[in-house]
Amino acid sequence: MQEEITSVKMLGLKLPTDPRWVNIAEKSIEDILVDHAFCEQKAATSGISLIVKYPEHKKLVDEVTPLVAEEWGHFRKVLKEMSKRGIELGKTRKDDYVLGLHQHMMKGNTELKLLENLLVCALIEARSCERFRLLSLYCADENLKSFYHEFMVSEAGHYRMFIDLAKEYYPEEKVKARWAEWLEIESKVLESLELRGDRVH
């Protein structure tokens, strides 16, 4: 548990995942893999959306373009793992965690929305990193331990990238202040959700 608290502090998250989650998730690993595949698909789509909305921001386009390719590669990697296990993707699922975050996004002009989008992306990557770390440490399946370690490292890099992009386009103090607010929001959203072993978040 101490390791998990340290991990959460490094990512800036306010609330560690309930330690029961890993055990529950292991019993529904097929559902976790399916949900993970959809998470990677949505991450790629979100990256494309940022590029489409903000093509004039060169650094954003330069940084997010390879991320889109990487996220789609992750989607394919999860699909491959599912195929080995005889698991089908099925229909897309509602993500209550992401929907909960989106309800707190500030309304305003396109430029204000950019900050909100970048910070929400950073939050999702940070929480994914924390969950994948738990699976990489405590999952009984040795292959999945290695599988999720790779994803953990990748998500940590994406989290940092989105924070750095926010600081590229907004004053650092503004980013820090809004990020602190988002961390509080995220912890409350997480607390409000039922603990489920069939979801990554």
Scanning the structure block, which residue is given the tokens 């040795």? 142
**178 within a domain of the structure (yes/no):** yes
The pair of structure tokens assigned to 57 is 């921001």
Say if residue 135 is exposed, middle or buried (CB neighbours under 10 Å; 0-12, 13-18, 19+): buried
Alpha carbon distance 122, 46 (integer Å): 12
Where residue 112 falls among pLDDT bands split at 50, 70, 90?
confident
Give the pLDDT mean for 97-122: 90
> Is 1 domain-assigned?
no
Q: Is residue 112 part of a domain?
A: yes
Does residue 7 lie within any of the structural domains?
no
Mean pLDDT of 5-24: 77
Tokens of 88: 């089908």
pTM of the model: 0.91
CA dihedral 162, 18, 145, 151 (to 10 degrees): -10
Is 90 domain-assigned? yes
For residue 34, the tally of other CB atoms under 10 A from its CB is 24
20 — pLDDT class (breaks 50, 70, 90): confident
What pLDDT, in 10s, does the model give residues 57-78? 999 999 999 999 999 999 999 9
User: How many domains is the chain partitioned into structurally?
Assistant: 1
pLDDT greater than 80 at residue 13: yes
Give the C-alpha separation, 46 to 6, whole Å.
29
Radius of gyration of the chain (CA): 16
Residue 116 structural domain: 23-192
Length of the chain: 201
The sign of the torsion formed by the CA atoms of 120, 6, 167, 179 equals positive
| Residue 4 included in any domain | no
Q: What CATH number did the domain enclosing 32 receive?
A: 1.20.1260.10
Residue 140 lies in a domain: yes
d(CA 56, CA 67): 18
Q: Please indicate, yes or no, if residue 93 is contained in any of the structural domains.
A: yes
